[in-house]
Amino acid sequence: MNPIQAARAAGQQIWLDNLSRALINDGLLARHIDNGVAGVTTNPAIFHKAIAEGQDYRPALAALPAGLSAEARYERLVIEDVQRACDVIRPVFDESQGDAGYVSLEVSPALADDEAGTVAAALRLKAAVGRDNLLVKIPATGAGIRAIETLTAAGVSLNVTLMFSLRHVDAVAGAYQRGLEQRAAAGADLRSVRSVASVFLSRWDSLVDGLLTETGSPAALALRGKTGVALARQAYRRYLARFHGEGFAPLAARGARPQSMLWASTGTKNPAYSDLMYVEPLIGAETVNTLPDATLTAFLDHGQVQAATLLADGESSAAELAALAALGIELDLLGERLQQEGLAQFATAFGKLLELTA
């Protein structure tokens, strides 16, 4: 087995954090799937890069009808890409009975604080793509969390993005469970609903390492490069407690799926660290790791898979987070800052996208 397949044998799905028309046309996406890739994630920055650098989009842009807004033109392009990617990976969806084989498409970042707008956009994108293996991406803002409950109750499968803190993990999981409970009360099918909760990791170490370096004490310096992995390990323990606990058991008995933890922002930003620092230590059952191209290539080249590394050093990860708190580094507050920065970055990328498609 290659490392992607070995991770799958250990219970973890490896997804590709990239999509473009060239990736589909050249057959590279199909080859990734042959290697074991079990899903695809996208965001505005990914599509901006694809459209700005790809020659495949120019004829399609020129052929779009006149009178469409820049956003409508953008959606025409990317919905076609997402539909085709959904079709390429559909065998994985079928073979896994809906556990894997998904492609994600994000609602406009302009809707981050608009609950009703997020719900409407998610329903519209689901209908426009028309594929069972679509995950609509919405952010874990206050409005987004309220929308999760509504959309889950309506049977929309979701990828909740821009999660940074354990507070986000708890809020998102609670909204998903409440949505399923509403759906169960209405007598609707639960098994058809899939949800993943995307916790961003590398941005944590980029931020916290700087704060630790400023502090300068030996105890602070010893914590550098540990925040992202420690946070993920603690998030996974909360996942296990909730979705394998008594509170979720009645929903599980009716076919409801747990909301899988998904590790996002997994490309190492500090060259002094391992290029697989957010991959090898985070192998665990019922999880997803979405990798950008370079990290996927590195994983295939020299990745080492040991089962259940997510459960290793549980006490150490809790102690590391407690040590950060003792130094005055409040992760819940910093998580809100990182989320706002992430929203701003996606909004900027989306604005540039619309300039391309105008």
Give catalytic residues, as residue numbers.
137
| CA dist., res. 230 & res. 212, Å (int) | 15
Neighbour tally for 197: CB within 10 Å = 25
Q: Is 65 left (phi over 0), alpha (psi -120 to 50) or beta?
A: beta
Supply φ then ψ for residue 223, to 5 degrees: -90, -5
Q: State how beta strands 134-139 and 102-106 pair.
A: parallel
Neighbour tally for 270: CB within 10 Å = 13
Q: State how beta strands 39-40 and 287-291 pair.
A: unpaired
DSSP state of 110: G
Among 97, 175, 139, smallest CA distance to 264 is for 139
DSSP string, 123-143: HHHHHHH--TTEEEEEE-SHH
Query: In the chain, which residue ranges form alpha helices assigned H by DSSP?
Result: 3-9, 21-25, 28-34, 44-53, 57-63, 70-88, 90-95, 115-129, 142-153, 166-185, 202-215, 218-221, 227-243, 249-253, 293-302, 314-326, 331-357
200 alpha-carbon distance from chain centroid: 8
